[in-house]
Structure 1
Amino acid sequence: MEQLPGFIDPDKPSHVCRLRKAVYGLKQAPRAWYLELKNFLTSIGFHNSLADTSLFVLLHGNQFVNLLVYVDDILVTSNTTAGIERVLSLLAERFSIKDPEDLNYFLGLEAHRTPKGLHLSQRKYILDVLHRYDMQNSKPVATPMATSPKLSLRSGTPLPDPSVYHKLVGSLQYLAFTRLDISYAVNRLSQFMHQPTDEHFKAAKRVLRYLVGTTTHIIFVAAKNSLNLHAFSDADWAGDTNAYIVYLGSHPISWSAKKQTGVARSSTEAEYRVVAYVSAEITWVCNLLSELGITLAKTPVVYCDNVGATFLCANPVFHSRMKHIALDYHFIRGQIQRGAFRVAHVHTKDQLADALTKPLNRARFIELRDKIGGSRSTPS
């Protein structure tokens, strides 16, 4: 820091002014702003969520107010209009805020509310990405990634400017927040960020061609929905991919498609590891729902299409062939014994997470995509 021109003290030229509040743009400014906002919200009765520090919850009898913060963008929801108006008026007394408006666009996510429920999409974001890479008039394809040939680190010629590939894959990663049908493709493309080639770039552009024909695909959250938490977990042992989808009722609320972090010696071990991953995610979701004042009607269920992994989760006997598995994966047995959730077998044809672990042919991909719930059109 340097003293401003005209404020230098001749007797103390090395001294600077002490700031009584953070300067916008400094590294500590977001932290200072968050602490200021947090202290104010807690002073008016809000509780800072332990599961998500950007969430603040106010419960008063049958009334609740939830406030979600992203820097200076704030989303306020409540089961009563009076609750929202009261919180907004208190915020306006303490901070300078813009005129509040109904939720329709938040951090690139479009929200359309209807009497039947809420439609979430990123249509405008998709069109911006397509226009940026001049792909808006390209020929659509039915799947985001071809089943063959399989991408590898040495396939193709290295790109002269890798930054173009980096920006495209980064844009697709943000798009995967509402488009779980491209999660597997984005996961594969992200594995070549350090040395992308022309073949990798062609595969990334294929995802854009898929988005050309599916710009109106959305996630629909119905107003009337059961509070049953369940998840589908799957692993592609040969493809080194773990994936899961967590549902609240009939709506997907969390999903992941990642490369396996360790080497599995069998398909049973690979499936067992991913069940451990999704159990940790379910535990986090349960904690979040508990802080929101939501009680689950039934015990959460994890559906796995591997019989060996299903039995291994519930079997208290430590199998000799599984001694090499790290202890942190075996915490799932304790969760099951406490009744936190249970693991059930599901047929491979009904394994929805299969769409996130490997490239599929057109018929199978469309079948799973429709079951997942991403084929509805944006309301007019």
Structure 2
Amino acid sequence: MEQPPEFVDVYRPNYVCRIQKSVYGLKQVPRAWYVELRTYLLQFGFHNSVSDTSLFILKKGKSIVYMLVYVDDILVTGNDNELLRQTLDALSSRFSIKNHEELQYFFGIEAKRGPVGLHLSQQKYVIDLLTKTNMFGAKPVTTPMSTTPKLTLRLGTPLSDPTEFRAVVGSLQYLAFTRPDISYAVNCLSQFMHQPTLDHWMAVKRVLRYLAGTSDYGILLRRGSNRSLHAYTDANWAGDYDDYVSANGYTVYLGTHHISWSSKKQQSISHSSTEAEYRSVANTSTELTLICSLLQELGLSLSRVPVIYCNNIGATN
């Protein structure tokens, strides 16, 4: 940071102004704000979630209030309107906040309520991305990635300026928050950020063409779903032709709700398909353990023991 010119002392140019409060934009500001907010919420009666430090839970008898914090964006919900009103009033008396409003956008994710449930999407984000990359009117395709040719580091001519490639792939990583259908493609493209080629750029454009025809896709959270937790897992043994490291992926459902997914490379080379699949199951079980812990803190009980489905007999045994 630099002082404004009028604050510089001509006789003592090395002196600076000492700031008595946090300045928005400094690295320590989010931490300072979180500590201040957390201290107040704990004094009010909330307890901080162990599974997710951005989540605060208030329980009074059968009444529950959940508060999710992302810097200065706060999402509040609960099953008791009176307790919810008291919480918001107390928050307003301590901090300067905007008028309370129904959930529409949070963390860049659009939430729409309908007769069947809550639909989460990033349609506006997709449209802005397509407009920015001049792909808004592109001809749509039905899949985000082609099975051939297999993308490798040495495939194609290196890009003279990889800036746009990196920016678009970074945007796609953020979009994968509500789009599990592009997770695998984005993970593959992210591996070429340091040395992208023309073929990699064409693969990015294919993802954009896919988004052009599916901009309204998202996650639908239906009403009245059961509380059975189950996951599907898979791995491609030695799927990377550059280093022969396997990739694993999983998707987790709470009833009919799609709540968690991942697609990423493993840490080291697997010596067999059974080993690759078993590692994938292990990673999935770690995610399920975290989700079970979070559900327990939310006061939700499961209707049965969580189940992981795997298509490899050796790993299953």
Q: TM class by shorter-chain length? A: over 0.9
Identity %: 59
Is 1:298 the counterpart of 2:304? The answer is yes
1:275-324 per-position Cα deviation (integer Å, ceiling 9, x unaligned): 1101111111011111111111111111111111011xxxxxxxxxxxxx
Shift of 1:99: 1.0
Helix, strand or coil: the match of 1:25?
coil
Question: How far did residue 114 of structure 1 move?
Answer: 2.0
CA distance in 2, matches of 1:244, 1:163: 31
Where in structure 2 are the equivalents of 1:218-237 lying within 5 Å?
218-237=218-237
Q: How much has 1:6 moved relative to structure 2? A: 8.6
Alignment of 1:1-380 (within 5 A): 19-239=19-239, 240-311=246-317
Please report how far the alpha carbon of residue 83 of structure 1 lies from its aligned counterpart in structure 2 after TM superposition.
2.6
Distance 1:7 1:168 in 2: 41
2: CA distance between counterparts of 1:83 and 1:119? 26
Instruction: Note the alpha carbon deviations across 1:175-194, whole angstroms, 9 max, x for none.
Output: 11111011110011001000
Asked if the contact 2:68/2:75 (under 8 Å) is kept, the reply is yes
C-alpha distance in structure 1 between counterparts of 2:152 and 2:8, whole Å: 60
Instruction: Check whether the contact 1:3–1:15 (CA below 8 A) recurs between aligned residues.
Output: no
Query: Structure 2 unaligned runs (5+)?
Result: 240-245
TM-score of the aligned structures, taking structure 2 as reference length = 0.93
Q: Contact 2:247–2:264 (CA<8 Å) still a contact in 1?
A: yes
Q: Please give the secondary structure, in 2, of the residue aligned with 1:243.
A: strand
> In the alignment, is the contact (CA less than 8 A) between 2:238 and 2:269 conserved in 1?
no
Whole-Å Cα distance in 2 between the matches of residues 20 and 49 of structure 1? 31
The 2-side partners of 1:66 and 1:103 are apart by 14
Once the 2 structures are TM-superposed, how far is the Cα of residue 138 of structure 1 from its aligned partner?
0.8
Structure of higher RCO (CA pairs closer than 8 Å, 6+ residues apart): 1
User: What is the identity, as a one-letter code, of the residue corresponding to 1:24?
Assistant: Y
Q: Distance in 1 between matches of 2:205 and 2:106?
A: 26
AA of the residue aligned to 1:269: E
Q: How has the CA–CA distance of structure 1 residues 4 and 104 changed in structure 2, closer, same or farther, with 3 Å as cutoff? A: closer
Rounded to whole Å, the distance in 2 between the matches of 1:300 and 1:150 is: 35
- Compute the TM-score of the two structures, normalised by the length of structure 1: 0.78
Partner of 1:195, secondary structure, is coil
CA distance in 1, matches of 2:147, 2:4: 62
SS of the counterpart of 1:308? helix
1:79-106 per-position Cα deviation (integer Å, ceiling 9, x unaligned)? 1222322111111101111111100111
Secondary structure in 1 matching 2:88? helix
Comparing 236-245 with 203-212, which one deviates more in the overlay? 236-245
Output the CA distance in 2 between the equivalents of 1:161 and 1:14.
41
Which residue of the partner structure matches residue 333 of structure 1? Answer: none
Shift of the 159–2 alpha-carbon distance from structure 1 to 2, 3 Å rule, reads closer
Q: Give, as a single letter, the amino acid of the residue that structure 2 aligns with 1:262.
A: S
Q: Contact 1:119–1:219 at 8 Å: present in 2 too? A: yes
* Cα separation, 2, equivalents of 1:254 and 1:53: 18
Pairwise CA distance, 1:250: 1.1
1:8 Cα deviation after fit: 9.0
Check 1:105–1:9 CA distance in 2 against 1; reply closer, same or farther (3 A cut): closer
Q: Distance in 2 between matches of 1:189 and 1:2?
A: 39
Deviations 1:104-136 (A, max 9, x none): 111221111123211111111110101011111
| CA-CA distance at 1:20 after TM superposition | 4.2
Task: Report how far residue 5 of structure 1 moved.
Answer: 8.1
For 2:242, the equivalent position in structure 1 comes to none
Structure 1 residues 115 and 60, CA, compared in 2 at 3 Å: closer, same or farther?
Answer: farther
Q: Could you tell me how far apart the structure 1 residues matched to 2:98 and 2:150 are?
A: 50
Q: State how far apart, in whole Å, the 2-side matches of 1:276 and 1:127 are.
A: 37
Please provide the CA RMSD for this pair.
2.1
How many pairs align? 311
Distance 1:58 1:156, change over 3 A: same
Q: Secondary structure at the match of 2:36?
A: helix
In structure 1, what is the Cα distance between the partners aligned to 2:92 and 2:250?
42
Alpha-carbon distance in structure 2 between the residues aligned to 1:5 and 1:147: 59
Q: Residue 289 of structure 1 aligns to a residue in which SS?
A: helix
| Secondary structure, aligned partner of 1:111 | strand
